[in-house]
């Protein structure tokens, strides 16, 4: 909690505005938008892969959140309204999966890594996750992403 309090000392309207905007990139409502936009840029096979990894990751996230049932930081630290459990961070997990998939697919690892980091950082700044919840989300997302890539490669070998 000390990190959250330290970060929130930098209480400038522009920083709060940016952190809220960045965290929106990881909201559940963003994924249908990403999928709709990607319809115009991805072939059918890649679009189905993108859809699949999002669905699988969302199911895993829901199961883990309910299974661990760990609280978020105290509400007095929240700069935005949130509900549900805090571990693993769904925003961090889904950022790892979505931006990881896009970075891998388009060979843009550095911009994808920046997005992954910024979504996680925004959640800490906004006081809705503790660092270990973000790291846990990133770790779960990384395992899902790497597992997905491995399975895709194995399936493409066999077809």
Query: What HEC string does 62-126 produce?
Result: HHHHHHHCCCCCCHHHCCCCCCCCCCCCHHHHHHHHHHHHHHHHCCCHHHHHHHHHHHHHHHHHC
Which distant-in-sequence residues (6+ apart) come within 8 Å of 56 by Cβ?
144, 148
Q: In angstroms, rounded to a whole number, what is the distance separating the alpha carbons of residues 56 and 62?
A: 10
pTM for this predicted structure: 0.91
Say if residue 7's pLDDT is above 90: no
Q: For residue 143, count CB atoms less than 10 angstroms from its CB and return exposed for 0-12, middle for 13-18, buried for 19 or more.
A: middle
pLDDT band at 79 (very low <50, low <70, confident <90, very high): confident
pLDDT at 10: 82
pLDDT at 29: 87
Mean pLDDT along residues 72-84:
92
Q: In angstroms, rounded to a whole number, what is the distance separating the alpha carbons of residues 138 and 123?
A: 12
For 17, how many CA atoms within 13 A lie in the half-sphere containing its CB?
A: 3
CB contact at 8 A, 53 and 95: no
CB contact at 8 A, 44 and 93: no
Distance of CA 15 to the CA centre of its chain: 20
pLDDT in tens, 21-37: 999 988 888 989 999 99
Mean pLDDT along residues 62-66:
97
- Stronger pLDDT, 59 or 31, i.e. the higher one: 59
Mean pLDDT along residues 64-75:
95
Q: In angstroms, rounded to a whole number, what is the distance separating the alpha carbons of residues 39 and 17?
A: 30
């Amino acid at each position: 909690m000390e990190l959250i309090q330290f970060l929130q000392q930098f209480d400038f309207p522009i920083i709060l505005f940016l952190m809220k905007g960045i965290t929106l990139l990881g909201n559940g409502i963003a994924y249908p938008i990403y999928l709709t936009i990607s319809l115009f840029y991805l072939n059918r096979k890649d679009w189905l892969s993108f859809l699949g990894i999002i669905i699988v990751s969302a199911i895993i996230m829901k199961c883990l959140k309910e299974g661990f049932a760990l609280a978020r930081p105290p509400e007095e630290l929240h700069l935005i309204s949130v509900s549900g459990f805090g571990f693993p961070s769904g925003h961090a997990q889904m950022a790892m999966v979505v931006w990881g998939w896009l970075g891998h697919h388009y060979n843009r690892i550095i911009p994808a890594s920046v997005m992954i980091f910024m979504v996680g950082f925004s959640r800490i700044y906004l006081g809705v996750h503790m660092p270990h919840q973000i790291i846990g989300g990133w770790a779960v997302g990384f395992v899902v992403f790497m597992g997905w890539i491995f399975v895709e490669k194995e399936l493409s070998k066999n077809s």
